[in-house]
Structure 1
Amino acid sequence: MTGLFFGSFNPIHIGHLIIANYMASYTDLKEVWFVVSPHNPLKQKSGLADMYDRLEMVRLATENAPQLQVSDIEFKLPQPSYTIDTLAYLKEKHPNKKFALIMGADNLASFKKWKNYEILLEQHQLFVYPRPGIDLSEWENHPSVVITQTPQMEISSTFIRNAIKEQKSIQFLVPDAVIDFMDKKSLYR
């Protein structure tokens, strides 16, 4: 089974990498694909680095981890792209793969707002990583929902972007290859 980890990854940081590696190593998922979103329909577009720069940063961050792959599938789809449409397209392109969704508890809490969420639950498993203060009791016994013990990291891409703006060190929060790339391109300054 392949886990799909959707996000803007603006930029990718060790919190994302720990979640993806945990999912690929400690659950029934054999691999995790980072699906870089050109634009999340539920988020504002401003402050988003170029999608090809974000894709390259994810590629740099995962190049030594064969169980972690990068996908630009949503770049080819009409925007904004909804998860249900992306999954239909992926199933067509990879008929032999079984796909699951990876999401944070915060996303699961608002999951019923997603387009065709019932179909997503019928056809796919959701692998959920915990978030502080999010109550998942409603989902605990759902046959399609796997609540994991993924280590929690209090790091966000917003925190990283603000640190860069304030010229603070982000060493150890972001892989070195990604820091070098951001420096070369003057991203988030």
Structure 2
Amino acid sequence: MAAQIFAHKTTALTNPPNYALTSHRLCRTLHTSTKQPIVLVACGSFNPITYHHLRMFEIAKDFIQQNTNFEILGGYLSPVSDEYKKAGLVSAHHRVNMCALATEQESSWLMVDSWEALQTYQRTAAVLDHFDYEINTVLGGVSTRDGERDVQIMLLAGSDLIGTMSEPGVWSHDDLDHVLGHHGTFVIERTGAALDQVVDSLARWRNNIYPIAQQVQNDVSSTKVRLFFRRGLSVQYLLPAAVIDYIEQNNLYPDDGPCTEKDRGKESESGEVDTTSSESGRNVQSTLGTETTRLSN
């Protein structure tokens, strides 16, 4: 069944100069005509991208194949714009490049999209609508034996991020209804954020929220990776080798030098911890009716 068309739309979308959606790995033909075609989108800082971000997509893929009537046509990482202005956020140019290196070398079906990174700050609802427009209007959806069909765009996020959706003043009701009611989301369990509580707090959209438990717990985060870089510790096997080389070549997360016990205590007090999803840790700035946190650190 094709994705339901909702009357609510976000504001008009514009593209940066010379922009085109990366689609070289996007499947354009639906293999099983009885299934609903979907594309997964993960929004976040990816500062830097880690193996856990890539692993999230594989966890969702297994769940979807075994438990749903969806067929995945592709997956996208959408790095946040520099306008987010989070402390320690390296430029969007570098974050897009790191995501491109990771997806091209470590995956056969994931891609990175630069649209959000090249814009001013964009709400999650607008980002998902952007993918909807590019895939269904510009590219014409997906081919089936019965003709063309629209693809449903679905958010991929961690349970800690989705937990912020029930916090007053963080997300507007219209955006929640659009993201969860129209698009839908797959929620990956994250250490310290209970899946049942997350879903219960958003009961109105329960039928469009798909919680997924992790079989192998993984608490690797961009926050911890940056801390390792600052301390001069090894990050081997926490993120792709090509990304490590890129970071070192561009000196993106400089080593602060030897860290004393006193310094470690200060770091612990500074709030440098991972609190949101797989690219979590984007602090919640509670501006009434405005969504200001998403997937990543």
> Would the TM-score normalized by the shorter structure come out above 0.5?
yes
**Aligned counterpart in structure 1 of residue 191 of structure 2, from 132, 137, 150:** 132
**Matched position secondary structure for 1:155:** coil
Aligned partner of 2:152 among 98, 103, 106 = 98
Aligned length in residues: 186
Equivalent residue number for residue 48 of structure 2: 11
Deviation at 1:123, TM superposition (A): 0.5
Structure 1 residue ranges (4+ consecutive) displaced by more than 3 angstroms after TM superposition: none
Larger radius of gyration: 2
Shift of 1:29: 5.5
The superposition leaves residues 131-170 of structure 1 with CA deviations (integer Å, 9 ceiling, x where unpaired) of 1232333526710010113343111111111111111100
User: SS state of the match for residue 41, structure 2?
Assistant: strand
Q: What is the DSSP-based 3-state SS (H/G/I as helix, E as strand, rest coil) of the residue aligned with 2:111? A: strand
Residue type matched to 1:108 in 2?
Answer: I
Contact 2:103 2:110 in 1 (8 A): yes
Give the distance between the partners of 1:125 and 1:102, measured in 2 at CA: 9
Q: Distance in 2 between matches of 1:19 and 1:53?
A: 22
Contact 1:21 1:68 in 2 (8 A): no
Unaligned runs of 5+ in 2: 1-37, 65-69, 142-150, 255-297
Q: Which runs of 5+ in 1 are unaligned?
A: none
User: 2:82, 2:117 within 8 Å by CA — same for their partners in 1?
Assistant: no
Among all aligned residue pairs of Structure 1 and Structure 2, give the percentage whose two residues are the same amino acid.
Answer: 26
Is the contact between residue 13 and residue 175 of structure 1 (CA under 8 Å) also seen in structure 2?
yes
Equivalent residues in 2 for 1:1-189, closer than 5 Å: 1-27=38-64, 28=70, 30=72, 31-39=74-82, 45-64=86-105, 65-77=107-119, 79-95=120-136, 96=141, 97-112=151-166, 113-115=170-172, 116-138=175-197, 139=199, 142-150=206-214, 151-189=216-254
TM-score by length of 1: 0.89
Distance in 1 between residues matched to 2:195 and 2:61, nearest whole Å = 22
Q: Alpha carbons of 1:99 and 1:90: their partners in 2 closer, same or farther (altered >3 Å)? A: same
Deviation of 1:180 (Å): 0.6
